[in-house]
A and B are shown apart, each in its own frame.
Chain A
Amino acid sequence: MIAALRKELLLQWRSRAQFFSVFIFGATALLLFSFGVGPNSEVLRQFSAGFLWLGLLLSSTLTLAESFHAEMENRALEGLLILPADPRALYYGKTLANWIQLTLLGSALVPVMVILYDAGTTRLLSLLAIIALGSAGLAAPGTLYAAMTSQVRAKQTLLPLLLFPLIVPALLASVKATSLVILGDPMQTLRSWISLLAAFDAIYWSLCGLLYPRVLED
């Protein structure tokens, strides 16, 4: 699995220009959300967590799809499988790499959020932790579905179509937790949202890893 992870990170590093473009996409989305709501800073601040996560979610479809582009060009993934490489190791390598990238993306979008929506917070560590956990929830099923849809004609539409309904709990929990960190947590409910997120991550990281080899079969 380390081999798989090394390869993924190397590939990501090579296509770092792509990361920058996706970041711009996410930042633009955040900007557009504010245009959708209007220049009311109070309202924007209320919804800043939601905007951040929606922006990250939309950007994730680009990142996830891209993570399989290199594999499909020359059928490199097939090449790895017949070395032989363990499909589960390949899955976790790629999911970890995607997770890292999404966490970086989310963190990069935080300053954008702070500036556009006046949504600053001193609890940066908590915020980063939530972004990490939420991204993990996106990465696990996202990598599985990206593997499927990268081999199909309507890949661009199918990935969000399959992924979005699935990650609703992770989205809800992440938005709620982020909101509490930014706006305050009078009833101390942050812990339960984080637990929900962690549970979602645990379930899907195991379930998707279990099912991945079947998805790659031919």
Chain B
Amino acid sequence: MQTVTDNQRFPRTPYVLLALGAALLLFGSWWGLFFAPKEQYMGDVQRIMYVHVPTAWNWMLAVIFAFVSAIAFLFTSNYKWDSRLEAGLEVGSLLAFLLCCQGSIWAKPTWGVWWDWDPRLTSVAVLLMASLGIIALRTFVEDPARRAIWSSVATIIASVDLPIVYFSVKWWNSLHQQQSSPNTVSPDFYIPLRVNAFAILFLMTGFIMLRARLASRRLAAEVTAPPLSEAGEMA
């Protein structure tokens, strides 16, 4: 079985990233909430876009990261990719969940309903379910090799599905609703958006790194070397 690697070179990096990310998020959000001008048609509710849009961008990155990790594991059989996959799945699920909450918070005052079947958000929800399913699968498989292979396969299948889900929901919805994208933001608002985008990127990366390390350590604890011959006994 391949050895599990742990990043020894920059042990402090995730913490730096987390601190930086948190600081930027506070800054960007403060700007977005209080400093940026009121959006013309939608009012204060639109301010949630300052976290919603960056969260969405980063969620996409997390999905791509998980997909790449899955493929990397299947090709290299190196368990560091499995740890990264585990981290990517969990952090991605968290981001997806946040996206759904943010989307609902925006939708209720705007459309009067908690969920408006927006194709983007619906795709997020579907992929959230899929990734929770894969996380559940991982908890039920004891053999680390099988667990890694199966979750990589399932992740690849689910990631390939994402664009298909998006298009199918878009077509499905287009017959019924006027598509007013909640994501339009005018150029005046780009700075807080970008600040928050980087903020969440740093936070996400920091969390993924920490979570991957945790996964690696757990895996190392599971896998021990075969017991050596007892001293003094002739083989």
- Are chains A and B touching directly in their complex (CB below 8 angstroms)? yes
Interface on A for B, CB 8 Å cutoff? Answer: 141, 144-145, 148-149, 152-154, 158, 161-162, 164-166, 168-169, 172-173, 176, 192-193, 196, 199-200, 203-204, 207-208, 211, 214-215, 217-218
Picked from B126, B137, B156, B169, the residue with its CB within 8 Å of the CB of A211 is B156
Interface pair B127/A214, CB less than 8 Å apart? no
A192, A200, A203, A214: which contacts B149 (Cβ < 8 A)?
A: A214
Which residue from B129, B133, B164 sits with its C-beta under 8 Å from A169? B164
Query: What is the interface of chain B mostly: helix, strand, loop, or mixed?
Result: helix
Is B98 engaged at the interface, CB distance under 8 Å to the other chain?
no
A196 and B157: CB pair below 8 A?
no
**Is B140 a contact partner of A153 (Cβ separation < 8 A)?**
yes
- Which of B74, B137, B145, B168 contacts A162 (CB under 8 A)? B137
Q: Is the CB of B168 within 8 A of A166?
A: no
- Does residue B234 face the partner (Cβ distance < 8 Å to A)? no
B74 CB contacts on chain A under 8 angstroms:
214
State whether A192 and B140 are in contact (beta carbons under 8 Å apart), knowing that A162-B134, A211-B157 are contacts in the complex. Answer: no
Neighbour of A148 across the interface among B136, B137, B168, B169, CB < 8 A: B137
Taking CB atoms, residues of chain B closer than 8 Å to A162 are 130, 133-134, 137, 154
B119 CB to nearest A CB, Å: 11
Across-interface contacts of B150 in A (CB, < 8 A): 148, 215
Interface-centre pick from B149, B153, B156, B169 (highest chain A CB count, 10 A): B153
Q: Are A158 and B137 in contact (CB under 8 A)?
A: yes
* Contact between B172 and A176, CB atoms less than 8 A apart: yes
B171 within 8 A of A: yes
B interface with A by C-beta (< 8 Å): 74, 126-127, 129-130, 132-134, 136-137, 140-141, 143, 145-146, 149-150, 152-154, 156-158, 160-161, 164-165, 167-169, 171-172
Select from chain A the residue with minimum beta-carbon distance to B123.
A168
Please pick, from A153, A172, A199, the residue contacting B169 in the complex, using a CB distance under 8 A. Answer: A172
6 examples of A-B residue contacts, CB within 8 angstroms = A148-B154, A158-B133, A166-B130, A169-B165, A193-B171, A217-B146
Distance, CA A217 to CA B146, complexed state (A) = 8
Q: Given A164-B129, A203-B164, A215-B149: A196 and B140 within 8 A (CB)?
A: no
Residues of chain B with a CB closer than 8 A to A154's CB: 136, 140
Distance from A165 Cβ to chain B, minimum over Cβ atoms (Å):
4
B146 CB → nearest A CB, Å:
7
In the complex, what residue of chain A is closest to B164 when comparing beta carbons?
A169
Shortest distance from the beta carbon of A143 to any chain B beta carbon, whole Å? 12
A166, B140: Cβ atoms under 8 Å? no
Interface centre among B145, B168, B172 (most CB of A within 10 A): B168
Nearest B residue to A147, CB-CB = B150
- Given known pairs A141-B157, A211-B157, the reply for A172 and B133 (CB within 8 Å) is no
Q: Find chain B residues with CB under 8 A from A173 CB.
A: 168
Nearest chain B residue, comparing its CB with the CB of A197: B168
Is B141 in contact with A152, judged by CB distance below 8 angstroms? Answer: yes
CB distance from B126 to the nearest CB of A (A): 5
Measured CB to CB, the nearest residue on chain B to A187 is B175
Q: Give Cα A217 to B169, complex, Å.
A: 35
Q: Complex Cα distance A173/B171, Å? A: 9
Residue of B nearest to A162 (CB): B133
Nearest CB in chain A to that of B141: its residue: A152
Q: Within the complex, which residue of B133, B152, B153 is in contact with A165, where a contact is CB–CB below 8 Å?
A: B133
B15 to chain A, nearest CB (A): 34
| Minimum CB–CB distance for A53 against chain B, Å | 13
Apart from A144-B157, A207-B157, what are 17 other A-B pairs with CB-CB below 8 Å? A141-B157, A149-B137, A153-B140, A161-B129, A161-B133, A161-B136, A165-B126, A168-B161, A169-B167, A169-B168, A172-B168, A173-B168, A192-B171, A196-B167, A196-B168, A214-B152, A215-B149
Closest chain-B Cβ to A167's Cβ sits at a distance in Å of 9
B78 CB, nearest partner CB in chain A, Å: 15
State in angstroms the CA–CA spacing of A192 and B157 once bound together.
23
